[in-house]
């Protein structure tokens, strides 16, 4: 492997490790969305939501159809909005959640996603507190890892909602991609959140853009982030988030394309350098015949199949504890 590549990845690893409060993570949930095209995502991990009248004055119905929720056969999940009548709604779209399949208290959530362009689209990667006696929304809490207004190619936002700070929450922050970056519509970006008993941090790619402390939340209401949350991915149309704007007919079909979802808990594992999926790492390291990006402890393995042994310099690709 070229020495310059090893040095570059090692530098990225050191910089990324320095930016994160946790030095070790163990992978607890992973979906790379491999599978046959035009099939639903793994039912052991995801529910496909059906809701003909979603909240927030949204203009779409969520339906269970592979036209709206499906694997694409190339390793991604696609959530697709269509200009298509369903009941009283003029649009259909896709939404999945892990309620009853996988829930967790504290850790790191990350997803690599490409967003759709078009005024009126409202994609999101977010979490809701499981109702373990807390009384439902907003008392059980909500963490919005990323939301986007489809007319803003370079701007995303993150937020928290709970009792006393729901709806138009004061706990929200926008992030602007650096000048010269590929937009959210033109390229995949990695959206992440790290959560512990006293703090939530939000990231876009490797940039920490927003930190919410327990004391910040308690200025408005109770800290309700001490129990299991489940994960949601969806594409809404219209709604209150961007002032009820609707897309042009020519903007359909619109897709949220999800490359992977990973969830970790604090532990002894390690993160992939630069948060790149295995196929991109493999292209960067052309002399590797086989690259297995994750085992279930969250460690990355670089194995040259012809030799059958790990590369001697594999630690250059790992973030050490």
Rounded distance between C-alpha atoms, residue 126 and residue 138, angstroms: 14
Q: Residue 74 — φ and ψ, nearest 5°?
A: -115, 15
Q: Are strands 309-310 and 69-71 parallel, antiparallel or unpaired?
A: unpaired
Burial class of 138 by CB neighbour count within 10 A (0 to 12, 13 to 18, 19+):
buried
Q: Which tokens hold the place of 273?
A: 């350098």
Burial class of 35 by CB neighbour count within 10 A (0 to 12, 13 to 18, 19+):
middle
In the chain the beta strands, taken as DSSP E runs, fall at 25-31, 47-48, 60-62, 69-71, 77-81, 91-93, 95-97, 107-114, 121-129, 142-147, 155-161, 172-176, 189-195, 199-204, 207-213, 229-237, 254-266, 290-292, 301-304, 309-310
Our answer to whether residue 49 is catalytic in this structure is: no
Of 260, 267, 253, the C-alpha closest to 299 is 267
Report the alpha-carbon angle 177-178-181, nearest 5: 80
Of 161, 167, 152, 151, the C-alpha closest to 127 is 161
Strands laid side by side in the 290-292 sheet: 290-292, 301-304, 309-310
Rounded distance between C-alpha atoms, residue 241 and residue 7, angstroms: 43
Catalytic residue chosen out of the listed positions 49, 147, 194, 289: 147
Of 60, 51, 56, 101, the C-alpha closest to 80 is 60
Catalytic residue chosen out of the listed positions 22, 58, 78, 142: 142
Tokens 């001490």 sit on residue: 226
Active site residues: 142, 147
């Amino acid at each position: 492997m070229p020495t310059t590549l090893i040095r570059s990845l090692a530098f990225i690893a050191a910089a990324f490790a320095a930016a994160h409060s946790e030095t070790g993570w163990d992978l607890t949930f992973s979906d790379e969305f491999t599978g046959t095209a035009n099939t639903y995502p793994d039912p052991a991990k995801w529910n496909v939501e059906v809701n003909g009248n979603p909240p927030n004055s949204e203009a779409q119905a969520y339906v269970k159809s592979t036209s709206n929720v499906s694997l694409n056969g190339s390793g991604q999940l696609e959530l697709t909005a269509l200009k298509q009548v369903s009941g009283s709604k003029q649009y259909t779209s896709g939404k999945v959640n892990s309620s009853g399949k996988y829930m967790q208290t504290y850790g790191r959530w990350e997803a690599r996603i490409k967003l759709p362009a078009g005024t009126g689209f409202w994609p999101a990667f977010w979490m809701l507190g499981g109702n373990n006696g807390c009384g439902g929304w907003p008392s059980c809490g909500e963490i919005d890892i990323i939301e986007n207004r489809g007319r803003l190619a370079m701007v995303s936002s993150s937020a928290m909602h709970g009792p006393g700070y729901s709806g138009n929450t004061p706990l929200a922050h926008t992030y602007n991609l650096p000048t010269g970056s590929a937009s959210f519509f033109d390229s995949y970006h990695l959206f992440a959140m790290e959560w512990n008993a006293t703090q939530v941090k939000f990231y876009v790619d490797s940039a920490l853009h927003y930190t919410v402390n327990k004391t910040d939340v308690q200025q408005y209401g109770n800290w309700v982030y001490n129990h299991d949350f489940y994960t949601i991915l969806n594409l809404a149309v219209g709604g209150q988030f961007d002032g009820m704007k609707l897309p042009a007919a020519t903007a359909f079909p619109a897709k949220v394309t999800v490359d992977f979802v990973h969830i970790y808990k604090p532990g002894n594992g390690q993160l992939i350098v630069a948060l790149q999926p295995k196929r991109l790492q493999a292209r960067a390291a052309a002399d590797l015949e086989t690259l297995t990006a994750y085992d279930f402890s969250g460690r990355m393995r670089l194995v040259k199949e012809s030799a059958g042994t790990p590369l001697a310099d594999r630690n250059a690709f790992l973030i050490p504890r």
